[in-house]
A and B are shown apart, each in its own frame.
Chain A
Amino acid sequence: MTWVGKPLKRIEDEALLRGRGRFIDDMDPVPGAYHAAVVRSLYASALITGIDTSAALASPGVLGVVTGRDVADMTKPFPAAIDTPVAYMAAAVDEVRYAGEPVAVVVARDRYLAEDAAEKVVVDYERRTPLLTPLDALESGSVASDRSFVYGDPVERLSEADLVVRHSFTFPRWTGAPMECFGVVADWSPGEEALTVWTNFQGPFTLHTVAAAALGLTRSKLRLITPEDSGGSFGVKAGVYAYVVLMGAVSRKLGVPVRWIEDRLEHLAASGASTERVTEITAGFTSSGELISLHYDNVEDVGAYVRAPEPATLYRMHGSLNGGYKVRDISARNRVVLTNRCPTGLNRGFGGPQLYFALEGTMAIAAARLGIDPAVVARRNLVEADEFPYTTPSGAIYDSGDYPACLDDVLTVSGYADRRHMQADARKEGRWVGIGIACVVEPSVSNMGYISLAATPDERAASLPKSGNTEGATIAMSPTGGVVVQISTTPQGQGHRTVASQVVADRLGLEPGDIEVVSVLDTHVNAWSIASGNYSSRFAGIGSAAIAKAATELADAIKTLAADELECSVEDVELRGGKAVVKGAPDAAVSLRRIAGRAHWNAESLPAGVSPGLRFTSFVSAPNLAAAADDDTIASSAAHGFVADVAVVEVDRDTGSVTILDYTSTHDAGTLLNPRLVEGQISGGFVHGAGVALLERLVYDEDGNLITSSFMDYLCMTATEVPPLRSSHIETPSPFTALGAKGLGEGNTMSTPVAIANAVRDALGIEKVELPLTPPRVWELLEAMP
């Protein structure tokens, strides 16, 4: 093992920097494809009383217009994990439930003609009053799911508490804002009654099944092919599957291949978003700050429809309701509500930002009320290093860690004690400086079974259990000794090809540059399974494991051939420098090229145990991911990293602007596969998390129109706003992943929003804080202060 752990530069970057990336819009897989433009609902809630397509059909270059009714005739509602009061179709039929919902698709010779004609489709609506907030939806009875969970006896423990904190937290609706939006090229084959779609889908491939079901196709009749490159996703591109179905139906209806590339207006209004969650916490503490009882009352707004994989955002963290703490008595009530906003879906952190905004906010409020330093309160409650693997009350198995060491590290690196002195000095000068702490457990490699917790044990019993998290990879050695690896992790810019080359190089005694890694996923070709894809930070934990396993099988075959050649035992062969070498006898060696040539050219000579072809496909499933138990416990993820942050902010009392003076983040993500990529992932998570802390929010007006519909109004962090980040690492390898690695790209979207919120709480001496902390919001807080 020499390459894993090295800060190798990304093999992807040169092509990207030279403008040679291959994205969905660079692909022309079906020459002559027609172009689609989507006609979208103008209203958040309305009945469709008429659609007049005649002017559009008469427009130049228009092939056809497909309405929601046409789509409904060819498709079925998308299945979801829970029964839902309203069926979700790829396009609206009689009723629109959010502004931007597809109503019809215009197909023309080119995009310009399609857009022009789309403007001529006249849709008449009868407006209705939309539901736009989680609590309004709750009050109106727009509830799709209501489940309660109790672990231990939180009510009894609450009665023993010296301090009870009751507080309502609202985590805002935001998004991932990838540089590249959705893209789909759909080609229906009438002869084969099969659909091929090229799309920048990111998985999870459970959604391939959902799309196939909606199209009324068996899975083998829906072939998805992803491009080599994808311009970011952060979870959002999971939602493209709805357009796979829509454009698939359009291609089928009109009998031509159809191409659709989403624009930014469409993307922000109608692609997806994170859930907005209102959480009322009731937490009991002892006078020394020990958290002894914890209750969550969650109201989760999933938008207009329960769109698969929702309500997964609410259950992804279910095993980690205790965060990093030892509290054993926990309850939760989870209500999923429907509003008239775009359906939600994956967004980096996926439930973590919402959970920790409430939990870590509560910890900060409790510390302030008790008059104890928040670092002391956190330290008092953290799971100890000798308790791993640690099973949480709700069923997660925390694989490894040293949470107190992480906290100590971040306090040291941030100079926490000195910061407190500086804060006191600043206050004397009349400056409002605050310090916030957040400690979060970052799960990765999710259990395929966790979403079934949204159903009751009885409902679950009626269907087949779901568990594990399977991933595959294929490796082949050519007749001249070249190595090609096919991965099924649909990278969206994370550098999977680089890490895959490192993992394989170590096992074959080659250099990463010798390994070709193909990131294209073709569901008719690749080794993939239902769990495949790029979500739940699963590459480091399980994607790399599948690659390692396939590479090991190839290495074993090479060693067997080499042992036959060198007349030694297999155990004595090692692979290095492009050769198979007898250990301790460097002159006894044979090149991989020669071995590969023999395997391909001289199959008759192969020794027992070596099959011809030198091509290996391997699957792995992470251990300890059982199906949800009858007592509603679930090991919701395979690996659990830890993040401890210290944020130092200053609030300008005149303008309300929040400046991050210093930010320190200590991660324990197990074994680091490539420290350079690690820093990139942490920076990205931090910028994303700081974005929702300070700027990012999808804002709707009182009619349900998205008014943050461009980057002029939806403010992402840019280079000038990104504060300095110092990161530090502790490595406790995971015993549950093949390489000891854990996911780490989502942690700061979980920790940073609440760390900054806690710092503002500390600066202003207040408890109620809402994100994002924009200057107007903070100014209002200042005005409301006594």
Chain B
Amino acid sequence: MEMMNSFVVSIPVDESWLVLTDLERIAPCMPGAKLNEVEGNEYRGVVKVKVGPIAATYEGKATFVSLDAEDRVAVIKAFGRDLRQGNADAVITATLSPNGDSETTVDLVTDLSLSGKLASFGKSGIEDVAANVLRQFADNLEVLLAAEPSEVVRPADSDQPADGPRPIDSAEPEPMDLASVAMTPVLKRALPLVVVALVVVVVCLGLKRRRR
């Protein structure tokens, strides 16, 4: 299935391109998300989700397919697995475009394939849920941008080991409590799969930064 989402960031497009591709920086904006490590072209992260008494951890990894800094289009292939709920495969195309001089519109096209229980429950609500969670992400991003200057600190080349994964030290996230998000019951049961999709999006957006 194909999902289309967009949100607006209140910084100019050149800055957005840098910020949104700095995964390590923006990952905390994603409710429940944590980036764990990076190895070569592969980024690995998790999203913790809680629906009432049920907690799940979705493990995601993403690889970079193409990056067009000129047109500001990134294409990412991603895979998320929760042994209970099933797998998610996604190809995400993120396009950044100027929205006036001071803002950026981020358009996401996600071609999502789901399996297992994820796929079986209520795909009908997924787009609404995606929009909802993405709104939270965008709001958090705004807060982040207001609190910090939008300059990007790039890790020195020596930070990257010659081979093997490089662990990323970040705080354990609070699980995203889906029960606190006001939604219809149908939307609630679709949420886990949306979260997987979104963590993948986040991972992927960050990916670009690393490959520059």
Contact = CB atoms under 8 A, between A and B. Distances in A.
A binds B: yes
A705 B120 contact: yes
Q: How large is the interface on A (under 10, 10 to 19, 20 to 34, 35 or more residues)?
A: 10 to 19
A703 B114 contact: yes
Contact of A706 (B89, B114, B120): B120
A42 B84 CA distance: 11
A547 B122 CA distance: 50
Contacts of A710: 120-121
Nearest to A118: B83
B83 A705 contact: no
A121 B83 CA distance: 8
Contacts, number: 41
Nearest to B85: A119
Contact of A707 (B83, B87, B119): B119
Chain B facing A: main interface SS: mixed
B86 interface: yes
A524 interface: no
Given A119-B83, A701-B1, A701-B123, A99 B117 contact: no
A720 B41 CA distance: 57
Nearest to B113: A703
A42 B86 contact: yes
B170 interface: no
Nearest to B82: A119
A703 B115 contact: yes
B167 interface: no
A122 B84 CA distance: 11
Nearest to B2: A702
A420 interface: no
A99 B115 CA distance: 8
Interface string B67-89: 00000000000000001101101
B84 A119 contact: yes
A705 B89 CA distance: 14
B116 interface: yes
A309 to B, nearest CB: 28
B112 to A, nearest CB: 9
A265 interface: yes
B2 to A, nearest CB: 10
A659 B64 CA distance: 53
A42 to B, nearest CB: 4
Contacts of A707: 119-120, 123
A701 B83 CA distance: 21
A558 B114 CA distance: 68
Contacts of A701: 1, 114, 119, 123
B77 to A, nearest CB: 12
A457 to B, nearest CB: 45
B84 A705 contact: no
A594 interface: no
Contacts of B122: 713
Contact of B120 (A43, A119, A120, A709): A709
Nearest to A42: B115
Nearest to A127: B89
A705 B114 contact: yes
A775 to B, nearest CB: 15
A43 B79 CA distance: 14
A204 to B, nearest CB: 31
5 contacts: A42-B116, A269-B120, A703-B114, A703-B115, A710-B120
Given A99-B115, A701-B114, 4 more contacts: A701-B119, A703-B113, A703-B114, A709-B120
Interface string B88-131: 01000000000000000000000001111101111100000000
The 10 closest A-B pairs by CB, nearest first: A705-B119, A42-B115, A709-B120, A119-B83, A42-B116, A703-B113, A119-B84, A42-B86, A42-B87, A43-B115
A707 B87 CA distance: 15
Interface in B12-70: none
Contact of A122 (B83, B89, B119, B123): B83
A40 to B, nearest CB: 8
Contacts of B1: 701-702
A661 B121 CA distance: 34
Nearest to B119: A705
Nearest to B189: A712
B54 to A, nearest CB: 13
A703 B119 contact: yes
Nearest to B122: A713
